Structure 1
Amino acid sequence: MTDDLVSTSKFLSLILRHAPEKIGLALDPQGWADIGQLLTQSASHGRPISREHLDDVVARDSKTRYAISDDGLRIRANQGHSLAAVDIALPAATPPAMLFHGTASRFVEAIRVAGLLSGSRNHVHLSANHATAVAVGERHGKPVVLTVDAAAMQAQGHVFYVSDNGVWLTQAVPAGFIGFP
């Protein structure tokens, strides 16, 4: 992605996941925003985005962070929201027996004690494959990949969801379900 596409993607992430009020944008309870309003409000706050550029960002985002509605009128982030009022209304799903979580080595001891917590987000993010977890961990420092016994968690009543871009979500992962390297 070019620098301009990356910059726009980061802006969309801020607005659609964390702070729509920064540009006066309204999200519905499932996190959808009207694209016309997004483009108008972005421009009025010094960040003009054309519809073609928006479509290009969505199409070229390697992590498929954003979804455009079937009618082409709305956009939302697929996961990663910190807004309590947003519930992207995913149905519960049966996860693979094992999931992965990429983190930085400096966080491992805290995770041993507290497990994986959602922090400022609405869910803990998990990957279905090791390689994705490594890439996630690298964004935060020296990567460490933890395994999560998702089958055992689900058997004990923990609920999982899978976002449109394949990220597995759950409220928290108690330390007893985590495998450490």
Structure 2
Amino acid sequence: MTTLEQKSKLLSRWLRHRPDAIGLELDKRGWVDVAELLLKSADAGVVLTQDELMQIVVENDKQRFSLSEDQMRIRAAQGHSVDVDLKLPVKTPPPVLFHGTVQKFIASIRRQGLLPGTRRDVHLSATKQTAAEVGARRGTAVVLTVETYPLLHDGYQFRCAENGVWLIPDVPPKYLRFPDK
């Protein structure tokens, strides 16, 4: 039996990284028809009801999913590794944002800055607490502070996903503040 949490993780995988795993095709904005998603999920052996899907969308603590106004389409709010354009507007961020990571990545980040890896953008948080929670998923969290005004001054653009995650293509090391040891 697949729990609601497991179904939520599968939805993240399908809508962010591997729609092909169940034969889905996302449109260029990342949307897929809810009815098609439910059908393809069942065909893949994961029975997901409309009610369960709505519960996952509403109750997901990170608000990872967005429904269209008519609730006929769904997409991941951010975090894609597949080629989609969410058409998020450019937005001015607060003076500082935060990024949660773990110690093993700090040396690389000091050299290269924050890079998106397999995703399309670097994810930043508006609060230290959220960044710490993100970092803690991989071990003991290290929270980096991102100076946003110098980035803006140098031509970088920020976007904010519907769930409050700030997105930027990369953050060079000179814009980062590392915690004292």
Give the TM-score band, short-chain normalised: over 0.9
SS in 2 for 1:121: coil
Q: Separation in 2 of the partners of 1:162 and 1:148?
A: 15
Contiguous gaps of at least 5 residues in structure 2: none
Q: 1:136 aligns with which of 120, 131, 134?
A: 134
What displacement does 1:141 show?
1.1
Separation in 1, partners of 2:7, 2:160:
25
TM-score (norm 1): 0.97
Q: In the alignment, what sits opposite 2:149?
A: 151
Share of identical aligned residues, percent?
47
> Is 2:66 aligned against 1:67?
yes
Distance 1:157 1:5 in 2: 42
Report Cα offsets for 1:28-66 as digits up to 9, x if no partner: 111011000000011011111000000011111011000
Check if 1:125 corresponds to 2:123.
Answer: yes
In the superposition, the TM-score normalised over structure 2's length comes to 0.97
Partner of 2:114: 116
State how many pairs are aligned: 178
Q: Which runs of 4+ in 1 moved over 3 A?
A: none
Instruction: Please give the residue correspondences for 1:84-95 in structure 2 after superposition, counting only pairs within 5 Å.
Output: 84=83, 86-95=84-93
Question: 2-side partners of 1:125 and 1:72: how far apart?
Answer: 26
Measure, in 2, the Cα distance between the counterparts of 1:83 and 1:150.
27
User: 1: distance between equivalents of 2:126 and 2:90?
Assistant: 16
Instruction: Flag structure 1 segments of 5+ consecutive residues without an equivalent.
Output: none
**What CA RMSD, in Å, does the superposition of the two structures yield over aligned residues?**
0.8
> Partners of 1:142 and 1:107 in 2: how far apart?
12
Instruction: Please tell me whether residue 43 in structure 1 is matched to residue 48 in structure 2.
Output: no
